Amino acid sequence: MSAMSTPVPKFDITAEEIDALVAEFYARIRAHPGLGPIFARAIAQEDGPAWRAHEAKIAGFWRNAVGIDRSYDGNPMRVHVENRDIHPGMFSTWLDLFARTAHDVLPEEKATRMRALAERIGAGMRYAVTERDTVRGAPPKLL
Ligand code: HEM
């Protein structure tokens, strides 16, 4: 393999650890009173093959984000902006649940790094979703 196509891992998390994190995170998402219904609508009401496919896609997203491989080829920013059920205030809830899951599933150092990565990516998404929800020409929200 050429150096060009070989991603450099950012830290030593494994694909298996990502799979475990993703499985547990979406199990908790399905059970979450606020976020569960949004995912149920977009993916499937019941746990099953559609959820496994979602989890496989998300695991690929994280392998890409940490530099294990580049199999994920999607546009998460656009997906979240286009889903009109998703609003800016939900990101702190999502990120808290992700951080808690990471700390329950992974060794401390890896959990901390995954949390930091999610927060960085989530900040960009929250900004884009906020822009989408902003009414042009309306007075600025000062608080
Ligand atoms: C307010 C918080 C969030 C909510 C409610 C949410 C919800 C969703 C939903 C419902 C989907 C399924 C896509 C669809 O509508 O068909 C999705 C996809 C996805 N989400 Fe989120 N999400 C949130 C935050 C995040 C964050 C912070 C990340 C990354 C750090 C993330 C990563 C992804 C990825 C990679 C996909 C797959 C996109 C694709 O189809 O390629 N999400 N999300």
pLDDT reading at 2 higher than 60: no
Residue 3 pLDDT = 54
Asked whether residue 4 is assigned to any structural domain, the reply reads no
Does the C-beta of 58 come closer than 6 Å to ligand 1? yes
Q: Which residues contact 53 (CB under 8 A, 6 or more apart)?
A: none
For 61-108, the pLDDT digits (tens) are: 999 999 999 999 999 999 999 999 999 999 999 999 999 999 999 999
Residue 5 pLDDT = 62
Asked whether residue 141 is assigned to any structural domain, the reply reads no
CA 126 to ligand 1: nearest atom: 1
* Cα(2) to centroid(ligand 1), Å: 32
| For range 122-140, the mean pLDDT | 88
Contact 34, 42 (CB under 8 A): no
User: What is the CATH classification number for the domain harbouring 110?
Assistant: 1.10.490.10
Domain hosting residue 83, numbered range: 12-133
Pocket test for ligand 1, best of 45, 79, 84 (most atoms within 8 A of CB): 79
Residue 106 pLDDT = 98
